[in-house]
Amino acid sequence: MGGESSSIGALVPTVKSELGSNNNAAAGEREQEQQQPEAMAVEEELAMPDRDILCPICMQLIKDAFLTSCGHSFCYMCIVTHLQNKSDCPCCSHFLTPNHLYPNFLLNKLLMKASACQIAKTATPAEQLHKALQQGYEVSVKELDSLLSFLAEKKRTLEQQEAETNMQIMLDFLHCLRNQKLGELNELQTDLQYIKEDINSVERHGIELYRSRDRYLTNVRMLGDDPRAKLSWPSLIEKRGGGVLPCFPGPQSQCHMGSSTSHNWKADEKTPSGSQIIQIKDANSDLDSQQLTQSGLLVARKKRVHAQFNDLQDCYMQRRRSSTRQSQKKDERDRREGYSTGLEDFQTVLSTFTRYSRLRVVAELRHGDLFHSANIVSSIEFDRDDELFATAGVSRRIKVFEFSSVVNEPADVPCPIAEMSTRSKLSCLSWNKYTKNHIASSDYEGIVTVWDVTTHQSVMEYEEHEKRAWSVDFSRTEPSMLVSGSDDCKVKIWCTNQEASVLNIDMKANICSVKYNPGSSIHIVVGSADHHIHYYDLRNTSQPVHIFSGHRKAVSYVKFLSNSELASASTDSTLRLWDVKENIPLRTFRGHTNEKNFVGLTVNSEYIACGSETNEVFVYHKAISKPAAWHKFGSDVQDADEDAGSYFISAVCWKSDSPTMLTANSQGTIKVLLLAE
């Protein structure tokens, strides 16, 4: 095999059926291939100038030929340049000086004729005619008239053909443009029909709400006509905690309190006491203030809609069209009245997106010594039940805090309930979602450690990575399995019941982040320095199931929002959302700054949050590409006047699906933030 390959070389693969059915065509092609070199050789021979008229120095056609005393001809500039360095003939080495050079008139004349013939062979007929007339070729007047008539007719024919061609091109363009615009018009009409249907659905729903409100007000009026019920109103107000009876705005809606209906009472019935009347007035006042507050919130939420109108419009149309396509596949009898699926989905997006506009600080604490430089928190994670959270970073310590104590106690530096020291700086933490007291860590020496928070001792240590390990993650469905990624370009799968790695994946670039799919123990995703995201099935790791491309720099984090939705962060200052089932990109998020540092990434079912190198935390709704809320560290502390550019957000973590989030920056400050209106 080796001898054959070296002698024959690589062969282009062919389809066998084509070889059997096209033998005659192949034979003809072989004959043509044999004839082609001969024809090419003849053409090259005709095109190749005579070697006798080439300058021996420059190997080009001789220009301004000069003859030497020894009988050789050269270009004048070539031989003069040669004699400036040497005093011999380049051909025969005979002694030669510039005085031994003579013009070769005969050769120059022959060269001019050869050049003219060469030009004539390559020139177009028009150029040849032009050249002949320039050289004084005699032509009669009659011949010139005939030639001019022919040229004029030829010109008209060419102009006609060009005009027809241009007209055809223009007509084709206009037809394509019309078809495109008709398609856009049809799509626009379809979209308008969707909008019309949804407006009718929302208006019908609004009418139902108004009818419910009217029924409620009718019950209130009936209650107002009962004197015994009036006496019980103050107690009802007290039971409602704040003294507010529900009241809906409307032209005929009124809140029937004791003082406002006292003129309907009979004279022999008991009148409410003074304290009860004061309580009723307070309830009216509280109700008015509540209505004003609700009105202000409504205006604020409408402003958020208009601020992100384009993104919301795209989201609405995408979901509406998608739901229509899905409903067309089903029987029309299965369609229920009311909101369509797409409208319901968009209603969820709209309500969740407009609900919050800012991040409010709930609690704040310092991680370690304020004046110590090694305070960067690289990772912060909640445990299985969101009762505890752990921090780790360059301080070489894992600290575990009780979340309720941090939020409820006023102490600036609450005492951790557990603390574990390590030999190296820590890069990542991952709680076991089944065994509450187990947490895994990865460090700068490439060591992956599983800790028992209760005993403060390590359960397992894995030291197979050759360089810094950036990421570690426990599987949610198989709690004994965990995955890690390192600068040694290797992804390793571990089992807490074994001392060695179970599986190893060699990659071509540094590994920045790894994550298990929350619904599967056989699928992992890898964020790499090669700008790509690799999605693997652990049953076959020879190649990834899919590679997601789109980031322009290293992928620093990967996180799953659900079994099919994946978020990624990169040092190109973008976040991206992917569908791992359909293998398609869904959205790109921009607003934060991230060009070199690990700034953290956290997700829940609706929101994506990350840090920024501007020392800010940004929150994005997964359906909108621009930030929904953000918070800047240092704005409410004494050192706010320091250079904010020297600090950056280093870790973030949602508290499950709640609006509460833990954040930390490179200064060692940890804040509990809450999404607020």
CA dihedral (239, 240, 242, 246) positive or negative: negative
Question: Across the strands, what pairs with 495?
Answer: 481
Question: From CA 503, how far away is CA 409, in angstroms rounded?
Answer: 45
Rounded to the nearest angstrom, the gap between the alpha carbon of residue 490 and the centroid of all alpha carbons in its chain is 25
Where do the DSSP E strands lie in 87-213? Answer: 101-103
Question: CA-to-CA distance for 193 and 182, rounded, in angstroms?
Answer: 16
pLDDT of 554 strictly over 60 = yes
The per-residue pLDDT for 292 is 57
pLDDT, one tens digit per residue, over 21-32 is: 444 444 455 555
Q: Where is pLDDT greater, at 361 or 369?
A: 361
- As to burial, measured by CB atoms within 10 angstroms (0-12 exposed, 13-18 middle, 19+ buried), residue 258 is buried
The closest alpha carbon to 255, from 283, 294, 276, belongs to: 283
Please provide the DSSP assignment of 347-382 as one string. Answer: HHHHHHHHH--EEEEEEEEE-S-TT-S---EEEEEE
What is the pLDDT at residue 309? 86
Query: Which residues of the chain does CATH 3.30.40.10 include?
Result: 65-122
In this structure, CATH architecture of domain 356-635+644-676: 7 Propeller (2.130)
Flag the least confident range among 49-58, 231-240, 253-262, 540-549.
253-262
List the structure tokens of 204.
């019908």
Yes or no: say if 217 and 253 are a contact pair by the CB < 8 Å rule: yes
CATH number of 65-122: 3.30.40.10
Report the interhelical angle of 274-307 vs 227-239 (nearest 10°).
60
**For residue 180, pLDDT beyond 50:** yes
Side chain identity at 91, as an amino acid letter? C
**Residues near 434 by Cβ (< 8 Å), separated by ≥ 6?**
384, 479
User: Quick one: CA dihedral 51, 55, 58, 61, positive or negative?
Assistant: negative
User: At 145, which helix (H) or strand (E)?
Assistant: helix 141-224
Task: List % helix, strand, coil for the chain (3-state, nearest 5).
Answer: 40, 25, 35
Q: Which amino acid, residue 129?
A: L
**Least confident segment among 42-51, 154-163, 540-549:** 42-51
Residue 6 phi, psi (nearest 5): -75, -30
**430 with 440: CB under 8 angstroms?**
yes
Residue 60 is predicted with a pLDDT of: 86
Residue with more model confidence, 256 or 502 = 502
Q: pLDDT tens digits, residue range 656-671?
A: 888 999 999 988 889 9
Which pLDDT score, from 0 to 100, does residue 415 have?
A: 83
Q: Per-residue confidence at 270, pLDDT binned at 50, 70, 90?
A: very low
pLDDT at 15: 36
pLDDT of residue 158: 93
Contact residues for 450 (Cβ-Cβ < 8 A; gap 6+): 438, 439, 440, 458, 459, 460, 461, 482, 496
- The Cα 361–Cα 375 span in angstroms is 21
Structure tokens at 305: 């809609």
User: What are the residues whose beta carbons fall under 8 Å from the beta carbon of 375, sequence distance 6 or more?
Assistant: 367, 368, 369, 393, 394, 395, 666, 667, 668
Residue 350, token pair as written in the block: 């709209």
Angle among Cα 72, 73, 79 to the nearest 5 degrees reads 100
Residues of the chain with CATH 2.130.10.10: 356-635+644-676
Lowest mean pLDDT among 250-264, 336-350, 466-480: 250-264
- As to burial, measured by CB atoms within 10 angstroms (0-12 exposed, 13-18 middle, 19+ buried), residue 666 is buried
- pLDDT recorded at residue 296: 75
Mean pLDDT of 366-376: 63
What distance lies between CA 102 and its chain's CA centroid? 76
Q: What is the pLDDT of residue 135?
A: 65
Does 569 score more than 90 pLDDT?
Answer: yes
Tell me what the mean pLDDT of segment 170-191 comes to: 92
Q: Is-contact 175 169, C-beta < 8 A?
A: no
User: What's the pLDDT at 157?
Assistant: 93
- Using a 10 angstrom Cβ sphere, with 0-12 exposed, 13-18 middle and 19 or more buried, the burial of residue 559 is buried
Count CA atoms closer than 13 A to 510's CA, side-chain side. Answer: 14
More confident residue, 127 or 280: 127
Average pLDDT over residues 229-238: 46
DSSP designation for 662? E
pLDDT band with cut points at 50, 70 and 90 for residue 348: confident
How far apart (Å, rounded) are the C-alpha atoms in residues 570 and 240?
50
Average confidence (pLDDT) over 143-168: 91
> What average pLDDT does this structure show over 591-596?
93
Phi first, then psi: give them for residue 73, nearest 5 degrees: -110, 140
Q: Which residues contact 640 (CB under 8 A, 6 or more apart)?
A: 634
Among the listed residues 534, 538, 513, the one whose alpha carbon sits nearest the alpha carbon of residue 523: 538
Residues 6+ positions from 587 with CB-CB distance below 8 Å:
576, 577, 622, 623, 625
| 391: three-class secondary structure by DSSP | strand
Residue 530 scores a pLDDT above 70 = yes
* Between residues 134 and 435, the one the model is more confident about: 435
In the chain, the percentage of residues whose pLDDT exceeds 90 is: 45
The pTM of this model reads 0.65
In which order are the strands placed within the sheet that holds 511-516?
A: 511-516, 523-528, 532-537, 546-549
Measure Cα distances from 536 to 342, 487, 527, 529, 546 in Å: 32, 19, 11, 17, 7
Q: Is the pLDDT of residue 6 over 50?
A: no
Rounded CA gap, 193 and 169, in Å? 36
pLDDT at 634: 78
Helix (H, G, I), strand (E, B) or coil at 486: strand
The larger pLDDT score, comparing residue 480 to residue 17, is at 480
C-alpha 551/C-alpha 85 separation (Å) is: 61
In 417-573, DSSP assigns E strands to 418-421, 426-431, 438-443, 448-452, 457-462, 469-474, 481-486, 490-495, 503-506, 511-516, 523-528, 532-537, 546-549, 555-560, 565-570
Q: Decide if pLDDT at 443 tops 90.
A: yes
Q: Taking all residues of the chain, what is their mean pLDDT, rounded to a whole number?
A: 80
Identify the pLDDT of residue 22: 46
Q: Which residue has the higher pLDDT, 36 or 632?
A: 632
How confident is the model over 44-72, as a mean pLDDT?
A: 78
Q: Which range has the worst mean pLDDT, 81-95, 296-310, 353-367, 604-618?
A: 296-310
